[in-house]
Every structure is written in C-alpha cells, then in structure tokens.
Amino acid sequence: MCGIVGYVGGRPCRDLLVAGLEKLEYRGYDSAGISLLTDGHVETVRAVGNLSNLRAAIGLDADTPVSAEGGVAVATPPATIGLGHTRWATHGRVTEENAHPHGDCTGHIHIVLNGIVENHTELRRELSESGHAFSSETDAEIVAHMIEKHYDGDLTEAVRNAFAELRGHYAFVAMHADHPDVLVAARQECPLIVGVGEGETFVASAIPAFLAETRDVLGLKNGEIVTVTPEGARIVEVDGTPVEREIEEVTWDEEAAEKGGYSTFMLKEIHEQPDAVAETITDRIPDADSVDLSELEISQEFLNDLRRIVIVACGTSYHAGLVGRYAIEQWARVPVEMDIASEYRYRDPVVGTNDLVVGITQSGETADTLAAMRLARERGAKVMALTNVMGSQATRDADTVLYTRAGLEMGVAATKTFTAQTAAMYLLGIWLAQSRDAWPPEKIAEVIAELKGIPSKIGTTLASVEERVRAIARSHAEARFFLYLGRNIGLPVCLEGALKMKEISYIPTDAYAAGEMKHGPIALLDESTPVVCVATDSPILEKVLSNIAEVRARGADVIAIATEGNTQVAEVADQTLYVPKTDWVLQPILAVLPLQLLAYHVARLNNLNVDQPRNLAKTVTVE
C-alpha cells in the first residue's frame, strides 16, 4: 500500500509534497520520490530507504524545516505543481529505478501509482513491440507509457483512454510537462481523495497527506477520473460522463486521519482486509482456470519429484500455515508437515532434497522462523519464504519468495497479514494441484472463481457481523476464560481467534479440536464459559454440531460461526454469526473475521491498548 500525493496551485510545492509523504509514512515504504514541473521541464528525485534519504537527495537535510521557498535543489522559479510517492514494493526490487514517479519515453508524462496493474505483462509486451522503452521492473511504469500512447494534447482524454485498457487494483496521478496547471488522477478499488484549498488542489491516497493544508475533500469512486487544477476538480466516469459531487469537511484530527477515521490501527487493518487479499491474489490469477506462480521459479522437475512440504512459522503465521496444510493436502495431494519454528529448529528434523520448506513470516524478521529456514536449507531442502516485507531477512534466507501484499501492519496483533497469508496459501495449493495434475481442471476453475470472490465477501462479512459481535462482546467482556472449538479446517481459525483474544484482551483462552473435548477439556465448562465454535459448512459439520450439543449440555454459552443459509447451527447454538457461503476449504478466511472483531471489541470494552498490547512486540527478532 503505497502513498501518493499530488499538488497544483500557487505555492512552491516541493516541501508541501515532502510534508505530505511524511504524513503517509504510516502506510509503510521502502523507497520514495518526487517529480516537479518547472518551465516545461519535469525533474525527478528518488531515493531508496526512508524519507531522510529523499530529503538529502533533494538538498533538504534532516533538520531543515519544511519551508515554502525552495524547488528541487534550487530550481528557479520554484515549482507549483508536482507528484510525490512512498513505495511499498510489490513488483520489482527495492531500487531507485523502481521507485516512483515513473516517466514515459519522452520524459513529459510522469505518474505515481498505488496498487497493482494486473495486466501489466501483456501491456508491457504490446508497448515494447510498438517501440516503448522501459526503465524499471515495475507494473506501474506501464501507466505512463499507456498515457503516452493515447496522448494527443488532452491529458484527461489520454488518461481516460489509458484507464480503459488497464485492469487491476490501483489509483494513480499523472502530470504532463505541457500542462503546468493540471493533474489527472484515476481510481479503481484503491483509495484516492482530493483536497480542495484556496487557489490550490491536492490529490492523495489518504487524507493525512494534505490535512494540515485543507479539510475540504472530494471523495472518488471506483472507475472515476478527476482533473484537478488550482481552481478545483472535475470528475468524469471512464466513458466521459460528468459526475457532480459535494465537497465534504473532514473533522478528524491528524491521529484519527492516520487511522483512516478508525479509532485504532487494528480496526483500520481489519477493514483493510478486502484490499490486502485482493492485492495478494489479483495478478496471480491471470485467467479463470489457472494460478500463475511463475515468480517462484520452481521447476516442473522439482514439482514432479516433490516428496513433501514442511511449513514452519510462529504465532499467527503458524495458523495461516495450518489452513494452508488442509488446502494443499486437499487439492494437491502432497503430504504437508507443520511445525512451530521454535520447536522445529531444535528437534534435529529429517529434511532434505525433494522437500519444500515454507517459512511463513509477515515481518520476515522472526528469529526462530529464519533459523528453521536456514537449517532446512543447509540440509538440502528447497526453502520458500512467504512474507509481507520486500528486502526482509527471510527473502535472503530463502531460495524463493512469495509475497503477500497487505501493506504495513501497524497493529501488533496480526489481522490483514493473516488473511493475506491464508489467501497466498490457497494460491500455492491450487498452483501445486494444477502443476501436478492432482485435481480436475473444472474443480480448479470452480475454486479459483470462489477465491476471486473472497475480497468482496470479506467486506460483506465485516459489514454484516460487526454490530452483533459488539453486542456479544458486551455480554462477555468480563469473562474469565474463552474456549474455542473447531474441527478440520475450522481448527486453525479457532487457534487464531484464541490467540487474538489472549494477546489484546489478556483473557485466558484455549482452542481445541472439538472431537477432543470429551477427553478432558469439557471439565473446564460451566454456565459462565463462553464457547466460540467454528461451524461453517464442511464434510464434518455433523460432528461439530454434536460437539456443540455436548457443550450446551454443560450450560456453556455457545457463540457459533456458521455459513449463510445453513439453519442447523442456530438450532444448537445460543448465538450464531453468519459468513457468506463459499468453497468449504476457503471458509476459514471469512470465519476468522468475527473472531478478530470479538477479541477487538472485548479488549476495547476493557479500555485496553489494542495497537500496542503489553509484553508484545510486532516483530520478534530475539531467540
């Protein structure tokens, strides 16, 4: 989730753009850049690393206060139109060439983009065949060349025509050297907002970028293109139809703005899950019946000789791995061994060639997981890292890397990285199944269609259950213990729900395979025990229903997660929360959402700091 900002107006804007980028730092980044247009000439400065490197590159050292005077270095007259960008790399390594802004062949058109252009490979091929030369590995640069392809003197028209050919999940802003008072921007899924000032206009991926300058905003919807000038903004649909929209005033303070109007980063990140999953899967599903993980560069020969998969991870990442195990064994029929990394590294594991070891770590810096990956690699296994951070240690300790694209996660309690990891494990399961002909192509096409529908079903679930979860949280905020029960692919969801409740509400919890209840844990139950049961549709739902009946018989209060349209569960549970129907193997990515919200609201009702729980760090780099 990159940060983008554009300015056109009467004031010198170099420092306004840098200030805007500083307000977008919370979105996370690995490089940054700005482009400024002066006297028909665009000057671009980019730098890898944090903003102080960019400040140094443009002659603004760390403690030089942001001033209204200077241009890039000492451009005269100072630029009053420009673009800025903080990059969270998804396509192309963390290098200066891959940092934004990107230009076209003429150097006249510059763009900054947040998101992913899904059909970038085919467009790059077409553009190269018609003579375009590219200077980066990114999908984003395509947009500058697409605008160049359509440009005939009218920047809005060129952007509109280019936009019509793009597919994906993105928002971008474009500038042209011949138009010193116009920026044109477009939105497809990723956030984009216009800040309307006196004789000046901003466009950015989030309000904090310009909140210090104006509180008057104009929201953009999917498929809309906006032309901004110092006088204001004009919105059209992709077919050119004009759109009228009211300017609204933002009342948030800066801190709330960083949280996108949510009261905490954790709640903001819970609601970012549709985007996190969409960005993780979009361009890896090039068509309706196949998954493309060629980025892994794993040979067909290795896949044919693959003996087994070993997944090592810690905490929430371990739970995503557990979901992945069920999916891979179900679809690809490859045996999957799971282990907690801090155990795996010390148990002298039997591992070697023809084994694929997957280290799952969102931060890419968790010491135990890194050590487990290194051990496996030393013993001849092929090691894959599944991580959210480009350039992290895990990417160096692995033979190949699969990236989730959830963007920076500020909340210590992982939420969007869990669903993004789970989505990535589904991609891996489907890809292995198709690569080894382990599953009928029509079945693969069916589950791919379901997976593509998950981002919007996450949005629907969050919207439909939050109020009910808040009420359930109120009735159990003082509980002294929560028990989570599930079976088969529902069990990892229980483990994750129990971990969330522990780490942010400090209430003891246990998660158990429901079939194990009668072998001891059932003794824990009484009327005061809330029992959360994951009872989404699956081949063993009947078993789960009878376990719920066992628990109810001891007077416990059962909160069940069920699949929409299945009324059986509500007959045996006290409260039932419904998630949309999808393939039963994909249900966990939806069933976890009410559990994230339950832990969140119980913690909030106990006035706890959910973003920074006690005793916990976001990244555990200690042994």
Residues in contact with ligand AGP by the rule CB under 6 A: 314-317, 361-363, 366, 369, 412-414, 503, 619-620
Nearest to 206 by CA among 221, 222, 190, 226: 190
One-letter amino acid of 340? I
Q: From 436, 524, 532, 437, select the one nearest 490 (Cα to Cα).
A: 532
Phi/psi-derived region of residue 28, left when phi > 0, alpha when psi is between -120 and 50, beta in every other case: left
Distance between CA atoms of residues 192 and 206, nearest Å? 7
Q: Reply yes or no on whether 500 is catalytic.
A: no
Residue 520: partners with Cβ closer than 8 Å, 6 or more residues away: none
Amino acid at 531: V
10 Å Cβ neighbour count for 8? Answer: 25
- Residue 131 tokens, joined: 């003579």
Work out the angle at residue 279's Cα, subtended by the Cα atoms of residues 115 and 620, and round it to the nearest 5 degrees: 105
Minimal CB distance residue for ligand AGP:
315
What are the angstrom distances between the C-alpha of 232 and each of 227, 339, 422, 523?
8, 57, 43, 67
- Least distance to ligand AGP from the beta carbon of 432, Å? 22
Residue 603 Cβ vs ligand AGP, minimum distance, rounded to whole Å: 12
CA separation (Å) from 296 to 88, 94, 121, 364?
20, 18, 16, 17
Q: Looking at beta carbons only, is 98 or 393 nearer to ligand AGP?
A: 393
**Residue number, 280 or 366, with CB nearest to ligand AGP:** 366
Alpha-carbon span 428 to 515, nearest angstrom? 29
Q: Is 2 a catalytic residue?
A: yes
Q: Distance (Å, rounded) from C-alpha 23 to C-alpha 602?
A: 31
The catalytic residue among 452, 543, 581, 618 is: 618
What does the alpha-carbon distance between residue 461 and residue 591 come to, in Å, rounded to a whole number?
9
Q: How far is it, in rounded angstroms, from Cα 357 to Cα 405?
A: 21
Q: Which residues are catalytic?
A: 2, 618
